[in-house]
Structure 1
Amino acid sequence: MSCYIIAEIGVNHSGSVEVAKEMIDAAKKSGADAVKFQTFTAEKLVSSNTPKVKYQESTTDKDESHYQMIKSLEFSYEDHIPVFEYCKESNIDFISTPYDIESASFLVSIGVEIFKTASADIVDLSLHKFIAQNAKIAIVSTGMATLGEIEPVVEIYRQHDCKLTLLHCVSNYPCATESLNLNVITTLKSAFLCNVGFSDHAVGALPAVASVALGASVIEKHFTLDKTMVGPDHKASSDPAEFTELVKAIRETEIALGSPIKSIQQEEMQMRKVSRKSLFLTKDVKYGEVIMSDMLTLKRPGTGIYEAELSIIIGSISTMDLFAGDMLKIGDFRLA
């Protein structure tokens, strides 16, 4: 199956339904399978003394508190409805990350079927239980988490028979190449025996492409219309041109990965016939003469008898007069 590619709009809409719709159009045009939003109320999510993290300090107003930043990016429940409907009209999946059970319950009420949880909420087991009971598909980011913290979350989804994908993630924006640890994708697959993807906070397309080669079935990457827009996540997001190239690179990688079955490709057939070696005679051989090893050599093309049959041919008897330089063929000899 094709890798499922999510354009993480997150809060890059800055609270505007019209901007959100414009981003949906751009994501669809760029080749995304889904767009993802965030559903929260600032009052429920952030206490007044919560500090900003380093990347937020560098991309937002320094005089603005963490709470004020989150409040300015809030999408009301009412705003979700036209955006959700617009996704259906545009034939692109709508996903959201609820940050509390009330927000998750709202998403269920409007018909959302695919839920994504943030890495920070790996420890919110009540939220995971609610999603497992109500969602058809859950996508769980695992940034900042140990395998021991991931295990009980996986068990919750298994108990409720909810289809689960874990996303390998490093929770920094952008993430340094040396911190990506993409081999964790195979670790998660073997440890939890479920679908695994990659939430990509790195610069460029290469990490996502490598993760697909490692077996990632879902790729999520932050998406913006313009990196210079106001907000904490735009700078570390992909613009439409970059996202288009990302999707193209992933699709080409899937084609290149092909099948695990080792088979002769059609475009190899001419090369196989021309460049392989067949058995040729180095001297004349008379009718009835025994064929010996010093009468044979290997030369191109490969349309004759391969060396693997040499043990059968040596000691056989010529069925006709043969000549030096001839390619040996079936029918030129018989067993003694």
Structure 2
Amino acid sequence: MNKQKSFQVSSDRTIGVGHPVYIIAEIGINHNGSLEIARKLIDEAVLAGCDAVKFQKRTPELCTPKDQWHLERDTPWGRMTYINYRHMIELGFEEYSEIDAYCKEKAIDWFVSCWDEESVDFMEQFNPGVYKFASASLTDHALIGKVKNTGKPYILSTGMSTIEEIKGAVDLFGTDNLLIAHSTSAYPCPPQELNLKMIETLAEMYPETPIGYSGHETGLATTVAAVAMGACFVERHFTLDRAMWGSDHAASVEPQGMQKLVRDIRDIEQALGDGVKRVYDSEMGAMKRLRRARPTASTL
């Protein structure tokens, strides 16, 4: 019997075994600093049937190495230093207040990956139902501890991490309020490096913890396969157009693809069944036409 826990993350949505797969459209920084683009992405996620949209929140001075602050790069706003670019793509309190109201209006969950402790304090103003850590943060124990102290469920993503690092984080912080996402941090990730069987490995290692999948591949089939292998939640990067300027767009799913992904996941959920063999009413006609004789007790 599966003993995995479930976590209610909003008034009408729960993540865990026995509940519909929780589908997250990872907007991240694909809004390119534009509230208008963020709204359009939320609209498309709602249209596709996603359960949540997720953003990323950073304090640029804390998350950008100082030796990169003054390196110049070309951006949609012209050539500027990297630290100024990081500020340009960050959304502030006013923008997130509007996102909060807009998501409530559209009845879709929203939350973020915080990259530093100040960002956790910032996000607590909006009382998110769940937090997520980027794979790069799995070894940032100070940040995990900060989120742990909020008492909210949190998702650890395991890309770029060894099994020892995963065990180290779980041993240190325990499994209370914990969800784990299998991931490989390549953008885009080739199929031979997705290693989807790690979903089963993590489920065996932590039988009381909901296990999910955060994918960075191109295509949809492997994410659907993750659901068939037991993922309780899935996350894919989401964009209006994969050709847009920005680091994550190329490894993201466009609106039409997200609609197909949600549809296929819901079909898989129904198709998995409960593992109890039965003869369905829909089979009776074929059985009567095609079987030469029904088995009797003496022939079994």
**Which bracket does the TM-score occupy, shorter chain normalised?**
0.7 to 0.9
Greater relative CO, 1 or 2 (CA 8 Å, sep 6+): 2
Q: After superposition, where does 1:128-167 map in structure 2 within 5 Å?
A: 128-158=144-174, 161-162=176-177, 164-167=178-181
Residue type at the aligned position of 2:279: I
Aligned to 2:259: 244
Aligned to 2:65: 47
**Distance (Å, rounded) in 2 between the aligned partners of 1:157 and 1:131:** 11
Q: After superposition, where does 1:168-247 map in structure 2 within 5 Å?
A: 168-193=182-207, 194-247=209-262
Residue type at the aligned position of 2:293: P
Shift, 1:155, TM fit: 3.6
Q: Deviation string for 1:302-328 (max 9, x for gaps)?
A: 2xx52x4159xxxxxxxxxxxxxxxxx
After TM superposition, the score normalised by the length of structure 2 is: 0.85
CA contact (8 A) 1:113 1:135 kept: no
**Distance (Å, rounded) in 1 between the aligned partners of 2:191 and 2:268:** 20
Is 185-194 or 129-138 further displaced after alignment? 129-138
**Distance (Å, rounded) in 1 between the aligned partners of 2:52 and 2:221:** 21
**Distance (Å, rounded) in 2 between the aligned partners of 1:11 and 1:94:** 14
Q: Which of 91, 97, 104 is residue 88 of structure 1 equivalent to?
A: 104
SS in 2 for 1:103: helix
**Distance (Å, rounded) in 2 between the aligned partners of 1:126 and 1:205:** 35
Aligned to 2:298: 309
Query: What are structure 1's unaligned runs of at least 5 residues?
Result: 52-56, 277-299, 312-336
Residue type at the aligned position of 2:67: N
Q: Percent of aligned pairs with the same residue?
A: 38
**Distance (Å, rounded) in 1 between the aligned partners of 2:239 and 2:268:** 24
Shift, 1:157, TM fit: 4.6
CA contact (8 A) 1:27 1:35 kept: yes
**Distance (Å, rounded) in 2 between the aligned partners of 1:125 and 1:215:** 28
Count of residue correspondences: 278
Q: After superposition, where does 1:65-80 map in structure 2 within 5 Å?
A: 66-80=82-96
**Distance (Å, rounded) in 2 between the aligned partners of 1:275 and 1:191:** 46
Residue type at the aligned position of 2:216: H
Shift, 1:121, TM fit: 0.3
Shift, 1:135, TM fit: 4.2
**Distance (Å, rounded) in 1 between the aligned partners of 2:170 and 2:103:** 29
SS in 2 for 1:134: coil
Q: Deviation string for 1:17-43 (max 9, x for gaps)?
A: 222112111111111100000111211
SS in 1 for 2:219: coil
The alignment's C-alpha RMSD in Å is 2.5
CA contact (8 A) 1:7 1:34 kept: yes
Residue type at the aligned position of 2:202: L
SS in 2 for 1:123: coil
**Distance (Å, rounded) in 1 between the aligned partners of 2:182 and 2:143:** 20
1:3 matched to 2:21: yes
Residue type at the aligned position of 1:189: A
Question: Higher Cα Rg: structure 1 or 2?
Answer: 1
